[in-house]
Chain A
Amino acid sequence: MPNFNDILTLLPEAYLTGAICVLLLLDAFVSERQRAAVHWLTLLVLGITALLVISGQMQGTASAFGGMYLRDPLAEILKLAAIAVTAIVFLLARPYIEDRRIAFGEFHTLTLFALLGVMLLVSAGSLIMVYLGLELLTLSSYALVALNRDSPLSSEAAIKYFVLGALSSGLLLYGMSMIYGATGTLDLNAIRMMVPMTPHHGLLVFGLVFLIVGIAFKFGAAPFHMWLPDVYEGSPTAVTVFIGSAPKLAAVGMALRLLDMGLPELLRDWQPMLAVLAVLSLAIGSLLAIVQTSLKRMLAYSTIAHMGYLFLGLSAGTAFGNAVAVFYAIAYALMATAAFGIILALSRAGFEADQIDDLKGLNQRSPWFAGLMAITMFSLAGVPPLFGFFAKLLVLQAAINAGMLWLALVGAVFAIIGLYYYLRVVKVMYFDRPDADRVLAASSNLPLRWVLSVNALALLVLGVLWGPLFDWCLRAFAVA
């Protein structure tokens, strides 16, 4: 029977659930003008949730509901990162949402529900919980993608996302049932104990394959990446910011829970699978990004490539590699919010600024935003001294450390190819003249400007001072 202590351990999520319900109700009653208050209230909710996460973790690692829910440093990092990213998304997205008359309240509550899914997922201690968290996240995401009802592109993206997402959830569930069949338990810790003892090794590996497919789908790793460019392009940009950032944190949490916590004994089986996924993602992401003309699609393919790098860290299978994967996911989430944030800042009602050519001559129109975008692009490309470089450095190191020098070399080669399409964006902003008929104007929304500036400059500052953040990631795996 769940007791009061269990609820207390679950307090951040419990609080968030309650708060979402209140916000949902509130949204039905507030007038157009009171919307701003709801917006800030939502941010307050996020702040309180973050505080609850921190204060909970201060009381130490714990589990609740018979091990279904875990409170540990890994969950803390990922939750805080996801909350921070969500807050950034709200601040960045508000003018966009208001300009386009997209359902304001629904955007906020659905995003919060997705965040709740992320939080439950990264805290999962059993297969059921993994699945629940994941479904909460993805179901909310489907709705978010379709939020712009009148746009056919948006609806198409949502349908694609839903069909493929449902398929992958099915595969994941199938894999879980195999694992359950082989070990007789859903609890991840218990699965780890059972793996060496079970006689059904073949069944286990069979199930593992499906788990990996499910994970790869959620990451958007090639060859399970088909949905990603369409969804990124079709979603309202305000939603793309979210989908491009927070779910990656959830995915890394899911992969670590399933593979590192549940099935570390099968390292020799899943390591090559992840390595293959990494190589394919790097290749497909980097090569296809080159030919894109849509900025959102280009960033989508760049995401695929970045997930390849993340897999480099994951596939090492070491504590260091895991810490690196978490670090990479956080770095990537920050870069994604900055990159999509620029699109949000430049678009206004009737104009999306989502083509690469839309940025033409940005340096003349708005040198500050051009500078921020340049920082973001160089960071994504992995040029020092920016944050993205150190994330890449660490994944390469993790791969070499795990004896996969060849994988690191592949990563290095695709870093060069990837460089090209990021440079192209900088080229368009700095070297091209603006089109006379297209007037680029940066948004005058102050919170957006500030958050975007802080976000992009953080890539520069963290590029110099990333030590503490990485130490934190390392501590989650108790290697510091």
Chain B
Amino acid sequence: MSSWPLLSLLVWLPIVGALPVLLAGARRPRAARWIALLVSLATFAVSLLMLHGFNADSGAMQFTESHVWIAALNAHYALGVDGISVALILLTTFTTILVIVGAWEVIQDKVHQYMAAMLVLEALMLGVFCALDALLFYVFFEAMLIPMFIIIGVWGGPRRVYATIKFFIYTFLGSIFMLIGLIYLYLKAGTFDIATLQALHLTLPEQTWLFFAFLLAFAVKVPMVPVHTWLPDAHVEAPTGGSVVLAAVMLKIGGYGFIRFSLPITPDAASHYAWLVIALSLIAVVYIGYVALVQEDMKKLVAYSSIAHMGFVTLGLFIVFALLRSSPDGVMAGLGMQGAMVQMISHGFVSGAMFTCIGVMYDRLHTRQIKDYGGLVNVMPWFAVFMVFFGMANAGLPGTSGFVGEFMVILASFAADPWIALVAAFTLIIGAAYTLWLVKRVVWGEVTRPQVAAMKDINAREAFVLGAFALAVLALGVWPEPLVHLMNASVTGLVQKLALSKV
């Protein structure tokens, strides 16, 4: 293992890089764009370096760094990654490049501030995935809201102020109770070290309170029904880049929180209330799927489909407990959790791509209403190829990444309870219905509107962004093995921990 503080480099590089971007000022947007791109590329390179040095056969934390941060609270600046975080870190650095390229000409107002906000946001999200200290985690987790708040509020749509304040307050509401939970844990354990907290013995009532505190924080972030209402608003009003980051990475932080906190710190309570989360997940999958069906705004439709897809993530994570009860060896349970993880990564690519597609259309016609489009294939053939492809992936067609995760989760659910699997499998129908219907109304058919007839096909920059997403979706769909292998040791280790009661 290298002695370089690779993770610190990863987290701080975008923050330091944001300074010259800001200094470029409003009068030199070109410089701001190029510096931001270089910084994001460098960050991606660092993350690849980390992947290269990562030993996937071990479930332990790697590249660990630890320095005393606040001696009085025994809080540490502690970073480290396991297979799960490596996958999410790569997703983050990859997406950020595409977001910066995607915003190239689209953002014309205060370019330097937009780019800097994106880089800071990236750094904070990376910090969340790297933090091994609960206080540090919380700091990154909350600080992330500030750049996103600004991004939605400054560069967003007409109702941006409402949406962004709702977004901020909603998320803050969830996490402040987690903070109380963390303080409680700290007073019990005398440390914020996550590994120590995971090993801490807690009684069932204690676990229950903590579990619900964590649930509130992460359920808002994921988001789960019924605390999902901020997401459609935030997505609709956010600029394309904001939507992409929000869907591709930020929602994953909720899932990641479950994996790092809820499951290992309060396994007995999680097991006890798994039914609740499973029920909410199934509601998300089916009910929100139907809600997506009736949307007239494309962004709203994809936002609701995100909620439905994230339902699979929470289902996969919590079905683990039912599986552990029936077969303690944890093979099936591991499959469920792997499925949840694959689903998270896949959804990152697919939803990011879908929002980019919508952004491409919006830049040309300045409307997101489905009825304003139709027959795009006639005027934008290349765009139509991508849109149809991502639509297929969103519907979970085999061969795309969307299929892999959903299939794994459904398979695991079947082993737990065929009825759960049956309900979950509904998504294959509903998902196909809302996505394909969207594609039908937007892409296929005759051009009926003169504005649509004047639309130009995608340029090289847009093709690059969509192509990169498409490549990722396809690669993951055809050959998910490297990703599964990357996370396998960490997932197995986690499942083994969950099998043991802490009471």
Q: Interface residues, chain A, CB within 8 Å of chain B?
A: 363, 367, 378, 383-385, 389, 393, 396-397, 400-401, 405, 408-409, 412, 415-416, 419-420, 423-424, 426-427, 430-431, 466-467, 470-471, 474, 480
5 pairs of A and B residues whose beta carbons are closest in the complex:
A384-B139, A467-B70, A412-B176, A431-B153, A384-B142
CA distance A466 to B69 in the complex (A): 9
- Beta-carbon nearest neighbor of B109 in chain A: A364
B474 to chain A, nearest CB (A): 39
Name B's interface SS: helix
Select B165's contact among A415, A423, A480, beta carbons within 8 Å: A423
CA distance A467 to B135 in the complex (A): 13
- Beta-carbon nearest neighbor of B141 in chain A: A384
Contact residues, B307-358 vs A (CB, 8 A):
none
**New A-B contacts (10) at CB < 8 Å, excluding given A383-B172, A393-B179, A416-B172:** A383-B143, A384-B138, A393-B135, A393-B183, A412-B177, A430-B150, A431-B153, A431-B160, A467-B72, A470-B70
Which residues of chain B have C-beta atoms less than 8 A from A424's C-beta? 165
- Interchain CB contact under 8 A, B71 and A419: no
- What are 17 pairs between A and B in contact, CB < 8 Å? A363-B154, A383-B143, A384-B142, A393-B183, A400-B180, A400-B184, A408-B183, A415-B176, A416-B176, A419-B169, A419-B172, A423-B165, A424-B165, A427-B153, A431-B153, A431-B154, A431-B160
CA distance A389 to B172 in the complex (A): 12
Which residues of chain B have C-beta atoms less than 8 A from A389's C-beta? 139, 142
- Interchain CB contact under 8 A, B187 and A400: yes
Contact residues, B9-57 vs A (CB, 8 A):
26
CA distance A470 to B172 in the complex (A): 25
Which residues of chain B have C-beta atoms less than 8 A from A385's C-beta? 139, 143
A305 to chain B, nearest CB (A): 15
Select B72's contact among A378, A415, A423, A470, beta carbons within 8 Å: A470
Select B168's contact among A384, A397, A412, A419, beta carbons within 8 Å: A419
Select B187's contact among A383, A393, A397, A480, beta carbons within 8 Å: A397
- Beta-carbon nearest neighbor of A392 in chain B: B179
- Beta-carbon nearest neighbor of A394 in chain B: B73
CA distance A302 to B139 in the complex (A): 23
Which residues of chain B have C-beta atoms less than 8 A from A420's C-beta? 165, 169
- Interchain CB contact under 8 A, B180 and A412: yes
Mask for B140-181, Cβ within 8 A of A = 1, else 0?
101101100110011000001100110011001100110110
Within 8 Å of chain A (Cβ to Cβ): is B113?
yes
Which residues of chain B have C-beta atoms less than 8 A from A401's C-beta? 187
Most chain A C-beta atoms within 10 Å of own C-beta, residue among B145, B165, B169, B179: B179
A460 to chain B, nearest CB (A): 11
A365 to chain B, nearest CB (A): 12
Sorting the interface of chain B by its residue count into under 10, 10 to 19, 20 to 34 or 35 or more gives 35 or more
A418 to chain B, nearest CB (A): 10
Within 8 Å of chain A (Cβ to Cβ): is B434?
no
Within 8 Å of chain A (Cβ to Cβ): is B390?
no
- Interchain CB contact under 8 A, B142 and A383: yes
B6 to chain A, nearest CB (A): 21
Select A383's contact among B72, B145, B173, beta carbons within 8 Å: B145
- Interchain CB contact under 8 A, B149 and A426: yes
CA distance A14 to B110 in the complex (A): 55
Within 8 Å of chain A (Cβ to Cβ): is B383?
no
Within 8 Å of chain A (Cβ to Cβ): is B63?
no
Which residues of chain A have C-beta atoms less than 8 A from B26's C-beta? 367
Within 8 Å of chain A (Cβ to Cβ): is B186?
yes
CA distance A412 to B173 in the complex (A): 9
CA distance A384 to B176 in the complex (A): 11
CA distance A420 to B161 in the complex (A): 12
Contact residues, B99-150 vs A (CB, 8 A):
110, 113, 135, 138-140, 142-143, 145-146, 149-150
Which residues of chain A have C-beta atoms less than 8 A from B161's C-beta? 427, 431
Which residues of chain A have C-beta atoms less than 8 A from B172's C-beta? 383, 415-416, 419
A401 to chain B, nearest CB (A): 6
Which residues of chain A have C-beta atoms less than 8 A from B135's C-beta? 393
CA distance A202 to B169 in the complex (A): 46
- Beta-carbon nearest neighbor of B176 in chain A: A412
- Interchain CB contact under 8 A, A396 and B183: yes
CA distance A189 to B173 in the complex (A): 44
B70 to chain A, nearest CB (A): 4
Contact residues, B176-223 vs A (CB, 8 A):
176-177, 179-180, 183-184, 186-187
Most chain B C-beta atoms within 10 Å of own C-beta, residue among A378, A397, A408, A466: A397
- Interchain CB contact under 8 A, A471 and B180: no
CA distance A412 to B184 in the complex (A): 14
Which residues of chain A have C-beta atoms less than 8 A from B160's C-beta? 431
- Interchain CB contact under 8 A, B143 and A467: no
- Interchain CB contact under 8 A, A400 and B183: yes
Which residues of chain A have C-beta atoms less than 8 A from B164's C-beta? 427, 431
CA distance A408 to B180 in the complex (A): 8
B48 to chain A, nearest CB (A): 28
- Interchain CB contact under 8 A, A412 and B179: yes
